[in-house]
Structure formats: C-alpha cells, structure tokens
Amino acid sequence: MISSTLSNWYIDHYIGEEYLWKLTLTLLPRSYANSTCVCGSSSACSSPAFIEGWFVPGFRVGCNPIESLLQSTLECLYDVTCIDKIKPNNFTSDVTFRALNLTRSSSSVLVQSLVDIVMVEQWNVNVLYEYYYRACAPLYCTYSLSKRFGKFYVFTTIIGLSGGLTVILKLTVPLAVKFARYIVMYRRRRVRSTVTVIA
C-alpha cells in the first residue's frame, strides 16, 4: 500500500534515448536509517525528521506516518524555540503555542507509550446523578436484569426442591391417609346403621 505522502514508495521515471515517447515508470521503495531499512520489507522504518536541514528533536519520519509518529517523542513540544522553528513562517494567527509542562510527563517518552495509556495521566471519576436527573427529568426509572442460571445452580435447586418435597410429603401423606381412612370408616358405619333387615 502506498501512503498518500509517498513516504514509503516513490515513482521513478526514465525517458528512452531513442524515442522521446518511450517513458518508463518504476515504483521503488524508500529507505530510511542511512539506507539500512527499506520500506519494501518493513513498514516500521524511520529516521530523525529534518525541516530545511534542521534536525527536529524527537520527531521521526518513515514509511508509515502513523508508525513514525508512534516512534517519536514530544521533545520538541517542550521547548518554545523548537515550536517556533517548526511553525510555518507564513503562519498568521492569533493563536500562541506554549511549551508542554515538564512536570506532567518526561520529554523522552515515546508517543506509543502515551497512546498505550490512552494519553490520560489519572482518571478522576466524579459521578453526579443529580445532573442526569435534572437534564433528563425522567418520570420513573426501571431496570431489568437478565441472568442465565448455571448448571450447578439448577442442579442444587432441583435437589433442594426434591428434598423439601420429600419432607413435606412424609409429614402430610400419613395424615392424609389417616383422614381418608377415617372418612371411609365413618361412611361404612353410617351405611350399616341405616340398613334394616325385614323378615
């Protein structure tokens, strides 16, 4: 893949000697780090950045602009004179650039390290539900919790239920049988007493 800045590949051309219309275009990989790293074999190649012959401290250029940025440090941004040197001469804005504060992080920290920690030094969590309720003004709040029971939970629940049912049935079945037997006996006695023999 060719970067839009042509920092990894470049197009070389050759016009034939015999015929002016013969034009040959060749796509060649760029090399960095004193020609020891070639973009055709590695996209992580980079060299120190130069602007008009001036070495920019901490900044790197290479095959892939993102890879180069991640290999860079923000050393130049901690120095006002360095910031003024990299600022274009025709920059006409009221915006003033200030140097970064050295107490926050070291100037030699790689951008990759800053990205790894999401460029956040410290998370300060301050949850204020009052602002949410004031802004949204909900009439009521509900929430639902969907949960799938695990096999162990289901197994122990079934055993618990069967154990509980066993105890309840052991207590109630004998009483129910005695009560049913009493009803049957009571009806038999009543039927015998109402039957009269006629001779």
- The residue among 39, 49, 42 whose CA lies nearest residue 69 is 49
CB 70 within 8 A of CB 114: no
The whole-angstrom separation of Cα 48 and Cα 11 is 23
What pLDDT does 27 receive? 81
- Is-contact 77 83, C-beta < 8 A? yes
Residues of the chain falling short of pLDDT 70: 14-23, 90, 119, 191-199
Beta-carbon-side half-sphere exposure of residue 120 (alpha carbons within 13 Å): 5
Task: Please tell me the predicted confidence (pLDDT) of residue 60.
Answer: 93
What is the rounded end-to-end Cα distance, in angstroms, of the chain?
122
The pLDDT, as a whole number, for residue 69 is 92
pLDDT in the model for residue 181: 93
pLDDT for the residue 17: 67
pLDDT in the model for residue 139: 78
pLDDT of residue 180: 93
pLDDT, position 196: 59
Angstrom distance (rounded) from CA 6 to CA 102 = 35
